[in-house]
Chain A
Amino acid sequence: MISRKKKITVNLLVALAFFSFLIWAFLVLAKPNSGGVVAREDQWSEIKKQKTITIGLDDTFVPMGFRDRSGKLVGFDVDLAEKVFADLGIKVKWQPIDWSMKETELNTGNIDALWNGYTKTPERAKQVAFSSTYHRAQLALVVKKSSGVHRFDQMAGKVLGVQTGSSGENALNSQPAVLKQYIAGKKAIGYDTFDKAFTDLNANRLTGLLVDEDYAAYYIKQQANPDDYALLTGDFAISDDVVAFRKGDKGLKKAVNQELAKLKNTGFIQQLERRWFGQTSLDFGPTEEKR
């Protein structure tokens, strides 16, 4: 049997080791931003030296950035970002992320930018820096023509679906007078991806689906009978797609903005927009105007 003295000694040692570990952990945690240092400095010179940049995207996000059947990343944002950084002599490393973790990924320094149909909102402005707007889209309500809904107010008492964490969900809540006041229970059903919401729309469990026009057009095209659906636009503010950077990355932001302005002038962006969406942002009028 173990002697009483040995028992006390070992117990004391283990307890001491444990508490010193706790104190150490507490000190590390209490030190402000000890690990976030990397994330605060301007990384632009480092990126230029390495000639690679890591950009985060949700690779299920059609038609902005997704994988084709061979597993290759394609989409409007993928094409545009690769052109921008190719012109800067930098290689893009795409990092798939979970969309609900996007700002955390950026601010912990796992990725250097978010480029994936990211919309400007006041809440996001507190956490990240935005590039200039490179694409604009309108929120649309997708309904089946058989539902008889032609205007937003006809959604009275009907069930609406949105993607959780999407700009559609944000707009629905920040501008309740436009659509939220009509829908059943004044609350939309949240889906993690749009394709699941579309399945529910087809099963008549949803009457309407609030989604960016670009995505809506893509999904409708994929359906067996595209003519069965109608796209309704209403009074929602037009959303501005931007690239998100860490607030400290001023050099990177400046370089990307210059490239975006150049590509807008040469018509490259408009060409890409027509290819992926069938229309250009210019169709919504000048940038400043908000409907």
Chain B
Amino acid sequence: MENMTAFLPGILSGLQMTLGVFFITIIGSVPLGILASLAMKSPYFTIRWLVNGYIWIMRGTPLLLQLIFIYYGLAMVGVPFTRFEAAAFAFIINYAAYLAEIFRGGLQSVPQGQFDAAQVLGLSKTQTFFKVVLPQVVKIVVPSFGNEVVNLVKDTSLIYVIGLGDILRAGSIAAARDVTLVPYLIVGALYLIMTAVVTVLLRASEKRLNVWR
């Protein structure tokens, strides 16, 4: 067991990359997902079609393929993303598509009567959205949102395909060098720790939000 600690520095060097992709995706995909979910309810059919097409492409193709196209494919037509930018871009637009569907579900669960009531009370559209609809939507979407966040923790490992070194890649390097499965055990434990932290945080926020239910 003492040789387990020998693998740690190498694997931890990949942690920065894993966490970097994770946080930038959360920060970027949540607003984009909200926008897309609102656009899906737009009165203009062209906007609805465009957004539905975007979501269809993002959910209908593997994220691995999207990474390859965005990094290598776009470089061929003259869009020079760096490796990290390509990873961030691919993850944000992919996760925004999934989140948009979750947010749409949340929006639809607010009864039409509340919109009507808000209108009767003379609330503006912005007021209705931020003061009446959004607080309820947030509560409804937390469990499914948490599901996506946990998935994201593990999906970050796909960035190996564009040459970025995350913890799983660092584990593979150590496994290839020392011909042992021990580094993978450590990597698995690290993922478990990360998903545990995410789960605890989401549970706590769920509890807080439930106070005014």
14 contacts across the A-B interface (CB closer than 8 A): A7-B43, A10-B46, A14-B44, A14-B46, A35-B75, A35-B78, A60-B176, A66-B173, A66-B176, A69-B177, A97-B163, A194-B176, A195-B176, A196-B175
Measured CA separation A174–B204 after assembly (Å): 60
Contacts of A175 in B (CB 8 A): none
Residues of A within 8 A of B (CB): 2, 7, 10-11, 14-15, 18, 28-29, 34-36, 56, 59-62, 66-71, 95-98, 100-101, 104-105, 108-110, 193-196, 198-199, 219, 222-223
Contacts of B193 in A (CB 8 A): none
Interface of B is mostly: helix
Q: Could you say which of B6-14, B87-95, B146-154 contacts chain A?
A: B6-14
Counting chain B residues whose Cβ lies within 8 A of the other chain, the interface size class is 35 or more
Q: A101-B68, A199-B181 are in contact. Are A193 and B75 (CB under 8 A)?
A: no
Contact of A222 among B162, B165, B179 (CB under 8 A): B179
B160 at the A/B interface (Cβ < 8 Å)?
Answer: yes
Contacts of A18 in B (CB 8 A): 46, 50
Contact in complex: A11, B45 (CB < 8 Å): yes
Measured CA separation A66–B180 after assembly (Å): 15
**1/0 contact string of B163-179 vs chain A (CB within 8 Å):** 10100010011111111
B98 to chain A, nearest CB (A): 23
Contact in complex: A98, B161 (CB < 8 Å): yes
Among B46, B50, B172, max chain A CB count under 10 A is at: B46
**1/0 contact string of B61-93 vs chain A (CB within 8 Å):** 000000010001001111110000000000000
Contact in complex: A66, B44 (CB < 8 Å): no
A35-B75, A60-B175, A62-B177 provided; 20 other pairs, C-beta below 8 A? A11-B45, A14-B44, A28-B78, A29-B77, A35-B77, A56-B163, A60-B172, A62-B176, A69-B174, A70-B10, A71-B13, A96-B163, A96-B169, A98-B160, A100-B161, A105-B72, A108-B75, A195-B180, A196-B175, A219-B179
Which residue from chain A places its CB closest to the CB of B165 in the assembled complex?
A: A96
Contacts of A62 in B (CB 8 A): 176-177
Interface of A is mostly: mixed
Q: Which of B169-197 contact A (CB under 8 A)?
A: 169, 172-181
B47 at the A/B interface (Cβ < 8 Å)?
Answer: yes
**1/0 contact string of B126-170 vs chain A (CB within 8 Å):** 000000000000000000000000000000000011110100010
Contact in complex: A11, B76 (CB < 8 Å): no
Contacts of B45 in A (CB 8 A): 11
Contacts of A193 in B (CB 8 A): 172, 175-176
Contacts of A14 in B (CB 8 A): 44, 46-47, 50
Contacts of B79 in A (CB 8 A): 35
Contacts of B50 in A (CB 8 A): 14, 18
